[in-house]
Chains A and B, each alone.
Chain A
């Protein structure tokens, strides 16, 4: 039976606010917000509520797994996407045959992506410990779906994740908690760089690095592509620092994506 429970404090709503602003204030990839129609129309169903922000050349869109992986490598962040101090971690790249999936038990596991994923790749980076600050760990993910609709479903699932699992086990020695997500479609909150942008933030706990430290996940979708960046804090690392680095890397990848597939005038 449902009944009003813990009334110790008023709504925790204000917590959601800064998150939305973060998403809104992500630095842009330079794409104008003129709502140009996308080259790829949604494969399935119905009116697409968001016009694409990217006018793609159909000939430049990957059609098979091989060209999709080549595009992923062209777009995905490199250490310099996070500034001069970032370095590669080992292992640097994930096995392209797997991607992480959040189970019903709120534990992340590597699994084989669905057939609708043409290619996906994750890279790991680190801003090494320095000046009394702990190591800031970052990762970047780029995924090419078969259709724009598949990519939009990936965004839907991402948003669902914090709704069903505000606390998640990342790996055996790492977990995140108090997760909240904000989303902005193109045109909302002055967001014009992608069709859909998602920002998650919360607290990071690690056996090695302690915690709670700030945690951020930024993800954006345009056409059949998604790009994302994770930042895991450490001692002396602020949420602002994570947020700035993540947003910057997402913007870099969106810009690379744009120059890789847009119509050449």
Chain B
């Protein structure tokens, strides 16, 4: 959510405004509250339309009709003022993710969930149709998943059947991929409730397979397929569901069932007021979102608010001049809503303006979920920043897929990105195992893959020519350990404790540190290795001190670091002590207690308090209501460097580069980001060793700044 601007009103119709949800060509959508405190989405029409009598008449009619829609599964219009200087309409605010996001993140829904969803949405549509309305834009982005069930939203561009003349200019309103054939051919006279049923069929196919049944890509081709081709229902194995969807997708509107008939035809029991028919991870996503309605992490503010957006009148002219039957989304009064809500499908682009997709493959819900979620936010902010630039030659959109840190799922995500021709680069994955599982797939597709947190020195998969590591490897990362712990007057010998619990990260860090010191300094080491999970580290620590260690480096996990800290605190050792970022977390602080104080950490990521991150931190706070977590800035940098490379590759004309050309461009680029300056060696590793230092103090981590250069 964006903050209100100085020109925004603070109240509308007695409702207090809290912030901007977004803006489109014809109006602004605000988040507001009723006197009683209920959250609202309030759409306010721009003055230039408010003055248009035809528009006002239409708006009046729509608002009235929408208020008569009565269904628990359709969002409720709670208030409206069609006669105000700037007319507005308020609906209940539903703090849930759209279906598009749920499917993009958690994958296609099982057949039963699709049937239940189909039945509830059929009921919502039946209510809409019975109120004399045709929704005209039924799509995954307009289906929100709330904690008690789905909600069909956005009656903004719904209009009464008689009002079709208003669009007889040949404009198509709706979202390609979910349009009916009659919408696609702009045959508005034929547009009735059956059009919504066709779109519902598309939505159900999308929910069951993860893709629209007539594909995606170039709008013209897509509309052609909608009109002429059979739908692609591969992946819908449930025979009953397949028949149902096929019937909805009949080319002739007369052959489709009505929404009411669909409701009775789907035999699936509809659980009252719960969503336990949805997969567990979707339920979790809904719960998270419902619990924090104001965080709204999926808003695309700048995409929703193209700074150079021409007034809609001009837009119409453009669309007509181009002879196009299509004005994709953005032409409707409430385009903002769909842009806000829709991530994986549809989009808000001017006709002719290229829209390319930046993928994010991340562990959003697994062991490293916090890392992945921070990275997603960083990428979104970078893309928002890019899209707000006046001189951009193309628009970027973000497509996020959750691999949960699971190897099998990671491969599926990579395949999906490789298949989606609109995706030109991907930021991710989060962990090493996922990287090993996907490097071959990205390499085959020559699809640029930029990771910020999988920093192994080597991967089993070769070749991986399209792969870039936007942070120093686990090995290079420990150079500051040498400079900080050994190149100082009071240290002769570094004790290196490698705890196998830390996996490759710990091995690489400890082994390298141990190797570097005798090779590049006059100091020496005393190395020890312990199996993962070693409970009593006292004897090993004592042995290391007995052998003259006057500084201490631990490479392992948080639990082992805490045990080491305590073992060390129990001795008279007073020297400096360090560990890698993998041991740096809340658990280390709680488990080590007072023994945590004084430990220093080397990390690839910068901190929210770093001077270079000031603007980023402010933007993150504004959008997400909190300071950026570790890895957000690095993911931001990775996305920004892709956008920069893409800009160069596309040239001023915005010509779409091939993925391979983008790989070459990224490989050759130098980009100065928030966390560091990025350039790559010929094997795609970061050229440079900029790291960051932290220190545990008084139960928290203090950022010390960028690690000093060692000079070798």
Bound-complex Cα distance A49 to B501 (A): 6
Near A by CB (< 8 A), chain B positions 494-526 give: 494, 496, 498, 500-501, 503-504, 507-508, 510-512, 514-517, 519-523, 525-526
Given contacts A153-B530, A163-B515, 16 further A-B contacts (CB under 8 A): A1-B491, A2-B486, A3-B523, A4-B487, A7-B712, A11-B479, A11-B516, A20-B458, A21-B458, A21-B462, A49-B500, A152-B500, A159-B498, A163-B498, A164-B527, A190-B460
Return chain B residues, CB-CB under 8 Å to A47: 501, 532-533, 559
Enumerate chain A interface residues (CB-CB to B < 8 A). Answer: 1-7, 10-13, 16-18, 20-21, 24-25, 42, 44-50, 149, 152-153, 155-157, 159-160, 163-164, 180-185, 187-191, 196
Given that A6-B520, A190-B460 are known contacts, is A1 also in contact with B531, CB under 8 Å in the complex? Answer: no
Taking a contact as CB atoms closer than 8 A, the residue among B486, B496, B507, B514 that contacts A183 in the complex is B507
Return chain A residues, CB-CB under 8 Å to B510: 163
Are B710 and A156 in contact, CB atoms less than 8 angstroms apart? no
B580 within 8 A of A: no
Taking a contact as CB atoms closer than 8 A, the residue among B433, B459, B512 that contacts A13 in the complex is B512
Return B552 CB to nearest CB of chain A, in Å.
Answer: 14
Given that A16-B475, A190-B460 are known contacts, is A5 also in contact with B503, CB under 8 Å in the complex? Answer: no
Given that A2-B491, A3-B522, A149-B531 are known contacts, is A11 also in contact with B432, CB under 8 Å in the complex? Answer: no
Q: Which residue of B lies closest to A25 (CB)?
A: B460
Q: Which residue of B lies closest to A187 (CB)?
A: B433
Near A by CB (< 8 A), chain B positions 527-543 give: 527-536
Return B475 CB to nearest CB of chain A, in Å.
Answer: 5
Bound-complex Cα distance A20 to B459 (A): 8
- Can you list 9 A-B contacts (CB < 8 A)? A3-B521, A3-B522, A13-B512, A20-B458, A45-B535, A47-B501, A163-B510, A188-B433, A189-B436
Given that A4-B521, A11-B712 are known contacts, is A49 also in contact with B532, CB under 8 Å in the complex? Answer: yes
Return chain B residues, CB-CB under 8 Å to A153: 530-531
Are A10 and B712 in contact, CB atoms less than 8 angstroms apart? yes
Q: Which residue of B lies closest to A6 (CB)?
A: B520
Near A by CB (< 8 A), chain B positions 450-508 give: 456-462, 473, 475-476, 479, 483, 486-492, 494, 496, 498, 500-501, 503-504, 507-508
Return chain A residues, CB-CB under 8 Å to B459: 24, 189
Q: Which of B436, B458, B462, B522 has the most CB of A within 10 A?
A: B458
Taking a contact as CB atoms closer than 8 A, the residue among B456, B475, B521, B536 that contacts A2 in the complex is B521
Q: How large is the interface on B (under 10, 10 to 19, 20 to 34, 35 or more residues)?
A: 35 or more
Return chain A residues, CB-CB under 8 Å to B6: none
Are B433 and A163 in contact, CB atoms less than 8 angstroms apart? no
Q: Which residue of A lies closest to B493 (CB)?
A: A2
Bound-complex Cα distance A12 to B457 (A): 13
Return B281 CB to nearest CB of chain A, in Å.
Answer: 21
Given that A16-B511, A49-B532, A188-B432 are known contacts, is A24 also in contact with B521, CB under 8 Å in the complex? Answer: no
Are B519 and A2 in contact, CB atoms less than 8 angstroms apart? no
Are B534 and A46 in contact, CB atoms less than 8 angstroms apart? yes
B711 within 8 A of A: yes
Task: Produce 1/0 per residue, B665-690, CB < 8 A to A.
Answer: 00000000000000000000000000
Are A190 and B436 in contact, CB atoms less than 8 angstroms apart? yes
A interface: dominant SS: mixed
Given that A3-B521, A25-B460 are known contacts, is A181 also in contact with B486, CB under 8 Å in the complex? Answer: no
Bound-complex Cα distance A156 to B497 (A): 11
Q: Which residue of B lies closest to A184 (CB)?
A: B504
Given that A3-B522, A163-B496 are known contacts, is A24 also in contact with B529, CB under 8 Å in the complex? Answer: no
Are A2 and B511 in contact, CB atoms less than 8 angstroms apart? no
Are A17 and B457 in contact, CB atoms less than 8 angstroms apart? yes
Bound-complex Cα distance A163 to B458 (A): 20
Return B438 CB to nearest CB of chain A, in Å.
Answer: 12
Are B503 and A185 in contact, CB atoms less than 8 angstroms apart? yes
Bound-complex Cα distance A178 to B511 (A): 14
Bound-complex Cα distance A10 to B688 (A): 12
Are B489 and A185 in contact, CB atoms less than 8 angstroms apart? no
Return chain B residues, CB-CB under 8 Å to A163: 496, 498, 510-511, 514-515, 525, 527, 529
Return A32 CB to nearest CB of chain B, in Å.
Answer: 13
Return chain A residues, CB-CB under 8 Å to B460: 21, 24-25, 189-191
Task: Produce 1/0 per residue, B418-442, CB < 8 A to A.
Answer: 0000000000000011001000000
Bound-complex Cα distance A25 to B458 (A): 11
Given that A20-B457, A49-B500, A185-B500 are known contacts, is A2 also in contact with B528, CB under 8 Å in the complex? Answer: no
Are A3 and B487 in contact, CB atoms less than 8 angstroms apart? yes
Are B501 and A5 in contact, CB atoms less than 8 angstroms apart? no
Given that A5-B521, A6-B520 are known contacts, is A13 also in contact with B457, CB under 8 Å in the complex? Answer: yes
Given that A49-B501, A189-B458 are known contacts, is A12 also in contact with B519, CB under 8 Å in the complex? Answer: yes
Q: Which residue of A lies closest to B476 (CB)?
A: A13
Bound-complex Cα distance A117 to B134 (A): 79
Are B489 and A1 in contact, CB atoms less than 8 angstroms apart? yes
Return chain B residues, CB-CB under 8 Å to A1: 488-492, 522
Are B522 and A5 in contact, CB atoms less than 8 angstroms apart? yes
Return chain A residues, CB-CB under 8 Å to B519: 5-6, 12
Taking a contact as CB atoms closer than 8 A, the residue among B508, B528, B534, B712 that contacts A160 in the complex is B528
Are B527 and A188 in contact, CB atoms less than 8 angstroms apart? no
Given that A2-B492, A5-B521 are known contacts, is A45 also in contact with B527, CB under 8 Å in the complex? Answer: no
Taking a contact as CB atoms closer than 8 A, the residue among A7, A45, A149 that contacts B520 in the complex is A7
Bound-complex Cα distance A163 to B456 (A): 19
Bound-complex Cα distance A191 to B459 (A): 11
Are B458 and A24 in contact, CB atoms less than 8 angstroms apart? yes
Are A2 and B504 in contact, CB atoms less than 8 angstroms apart? no
What are the 6 tightest A-B residue pairs by CB atom distance, in nearest-first order?
A: A2-B523, A46-B533, A45-B535, A49-B532, A24-B460, A152-B531
Q: Which of A10, A20, A155, A180 has the most CB of B within 10 A?
A: A20
Given that A12-B519, A185-B500 are known contacts, is A160 also in contact with B476, CB under 8 Å in the complex? Answer: no
Given that A2-B488, A6-B519, A16-B511 are known contacts, is A42 also in contact with B533, CB under 8 Å in the complex? Answer: yes
Are A45 and B498 in contact, CB atoms less than 8 angstroms apart? no
Are B489 and A155 in contact, CB atoms less than 8 angstroms apart? no
Are B533 and A156 in contact, CB atoms less than 8 angstroms apart? no
Return chain A residues, CB-CB under 8 Å to B530: 153, 156
Return chain B residues, CB-CB under 8 Å to A7: 520, 711-712
